[in-house]
Amino acid sequence: MYKNIFSTLMTRLIKIIKNPRRIILVLMNKGFLNWISDETYIKIQYRAFTGKKLSLLLPETYNEKRQWLKLYGNLQNYIHLVDKFEVRNYISETIGEDYLIPLIGVWDRFDDIDFDKLPEQFVLKCTHDSGGLVICTDKTKFNLKYARKKINRALKQNFYYKYREKQYKTINPKIICEKYMVDESGKELKDYKIFCFNGIPKVIHVDYDRFTNHKRNFYDIDWNYLPVSIKVPTDCNIIIEKPSKLDKMLNIAKILSKGYPHVRVDLYLIHDKIYFGELTFSHGAGFEKFEPEEFGYQMGCWLELPKDRI
């Protein structure tokens, strides 16, 4: 057993050593470069992820402009919109609490959760990051030890330092529990992510099979399939029916994105009822690969930066 573990560790170490970019990313993920200024950090990270030099004087692509907004935008003003607990108040006041997934509880510490009082199915989320998530579909099979380790590790991290997204810097970490939801598939919850620019929806991508063979298909606002991808593969052979409430979903996206240069509005559709997912101001932290590359330039054209800072 120990021989196999050693062999695995050595293989990973060799891969890191052979790829300098991996060394940089490992150092960043471990927090060893937290002391570096935001601009220097983002430039290093951009080069490591994309292999390209970051242009901040004349940003053109979507990813370049996202980095610009990280440094010079007002992302710190969006804290209440990305905090998964606080944003519920904004949604209630803006479009109504009927669009919220039912909240079961909220806690400061994992050990404060009384799992005996939770339903047989539920979702635990950290309020301050991306990925601090545990899904329970059967409480009799729930791995409490794994959940505690994952959630506690997330609670200790300041997500701002990972990609220097200022909107996460001062969030007070909490844990929320939401009702477990599935759509008509009976096995998952398709995520309709609507990219809005100055309050205008431009393109939609749908994530599906996230826990088996993750893919995402892109559509325009008339639900025409777009042969493009961002990081995750697309599949033109997978037919995703036009949502029955697409017009209403687009209208909700317009309302929630009004006044912001760019925000991705995530919605769910469950048995013809729309639910709010989240608001994202830095899709993929501005590092994900576009195929074809021209699509990144097209989305960059939609994203207008404040002219007084260029």
What does the CA dihedral 212, 234, 48, 55 come to, rounded to 10 degrees? -150
Model confidence pLDDT, tens digit, residues 166-178: 999 999 999 999 9
Prior bond of 292 cis (ω within 30°):
yes
When pLDDT is cut at 50, 70 and 90, the band that residue 56 belongs to is: very high
Enter the pTM of the model.
0.89
Contact status, residue 267 vs residue 277, Cβ threshold 8 Å: yes
For residue 187, what are its two tokens?
A: 């096995």
Q: Indicate whether 14 belongs to any domain.
A: no
Q: Reduced to 3 states, what is the DSSP secondary structure of residue 209?
A: coil
How many domains does the structure of the chain reveal? 2
pLDDT at 310: 44
pLDDT at 308 over 60: no
Q: Indicate whether 196 belongs to any domain.
A: yes
Q: Indicate whether 70 belongs to any domain.
A: yes
What does the CA dihedral 299, 305, 307, 308 come to, rounded to 10 degrees? -160
β pairing state of 122-126 and 175-179? antiparallel
Q: What is the mean pLDDT of residues 186-208?
A: 91
Residue where one domain finishes, among candidates 157, 180, 203: 180
pLDDT at 168: 95
Q: Indicate whether 243 belongs to any domain.
A: yes
Spatial CA neighbour of 48 closest among 25, 70, 68:
25
The CA distance from 105 to 118, in Å, is: 9
Q: Indicate whether 24 belongs to any domain.
A: no
pLDDT at 12: 63
β pairing state of 262-270 and 273-280? antiparallel
**In this structure, are 122 and 147 located in the same domain?**
yes
Q: Which amino acid is at 36?
A: I
Q: Which residue range(s) make up the domain with 147?
A: 102-180
Of the candidate ranges 107-111, 182-186, 206-210, the one whose mean pLDDT is the lowest: 182-186
> What is residue 291's DSSP assignment?
E
**In this structure, are 148 and 295 located in the same domain?**
no
Contact status, residue 199 vs residue 258, Cβ threshold 8 Å: yes
**In this structure, are 199 and 73 located in the same domain?**
yes
For residue 112, what are its two tokens?
A: 């404060």
Residue where one domain finishes, among candidates 180, 201, 224: 180
For residue 307, what are its two tokens?
A: 């002219």
The CA distance from 248 to 241, in Å, is: 16
**In this structure, are 107 and 229 located in the same domain?**
no
Spatial CA neighbour of 230 closest among 281, 182, 289:
289
pLDDT at 200 over 50: yes
Q: Indicate whether 49 belongs to any domain.
A: no
